[in-house]
Structure 1
Amino acid sequence: MPYPDKLLADDEEVVRHLHPHWLTISWPIVAFLLVVGAATFAAALVPDGAQQGAVRMAIAGVALALLAWSVLVPLLRWRTTHYVITTHRLLFRQGVLARSGRDIGLSRITDVSYRQTLWERLINSGTLTIESAGDSGATVLRRIPDSDGVQQLLNHMMEEDADRRAREAAGYLHGWETAQPTARF
Structure 2
Amino acid sequence: MGYPQSALADEEELLLHHHPHWKMLILPSITFVLVTGVAGVALGVASARLQSTAANIAMIAAAVVWAAIVGWRCLVPLISWKCTHFIVTDRRVLIRQGVLTHSGIDIPMSRISNVQFRHGLLDRMLGTGTLIIASASDDPLEFDDIPHVQRVHSLLYQQVFDSMEYRRESVHGREAAFEPMVDDVPAESKPGWRVGKRR
Shorter-chain TM-score bucket reads 0.7 to 0.9
Q: Deviations over 1:10-54 (max 9, x none)?
A: 121110001111111111111111111111110111023322112
Partner of 1:77: 80
- Give, in whole Å, the separation in 2 of the partners of 1:4 and 1:115: 26
Aligned residue in 2 for 1:152: 154
Amino acid at match of 1:96: V
User: Does the 8 Å contact 1:17/1:83 carry over to 2?
Assistant: yes
Q: 1:66-114, CA deviations, whole angstroms, 9 ceiling, x for partnerless residues?
A: 0001100110111111110001000011111112111000110011101
Whether the aligned pair in 1 keeps the contact of 2:5 and 2:14 (CA below 8 Å) is: no
Q: Write 1 or 2 for the structure with the bigger share of strand.
A: 1
Task: Please list every run of 5 or more consecutive structure 1 residues that lacks an aligned counterpart in the other structure.
Answer: none
8 A Cα contact 1:3 1:17, kept in partner: no
TM (normalized to structure 2)?
0.81
Q: Which runs of 4+ in 1 moved over 6 A?
A: 170-174
Q: Which whole-Å CA distance do the structure 2 matches of 1:79 and 1:70 have between them?
A: 15
What is the identity percentage for the equivalent residue pairs of Structure 1 and Structure 2?
A: 37
Q: Is the 8 A contact 1:2 1:14 kept in 2?
A: no
Greater gyration radius: 2
- For 2:64 and 2:153, the matched residues in 1 are separated by 45
CA contact (8 A) 2:17 2:87 kept: yes
**Quick check: 1:128–1:140 contact (8 Å CA) kept in 2?**
yes
Q: What is the RMSD of the two structures over their aligned residues, measured on CA atoms? A: 2.2
Match for 1:139 among 113, 138, 141? Answer: 141
Residue 56 of structure 1: aligned partner: 59
Name the counterpart of 1:130. 133
Q: Which residue of 1 aligns with 2:189?
A: none
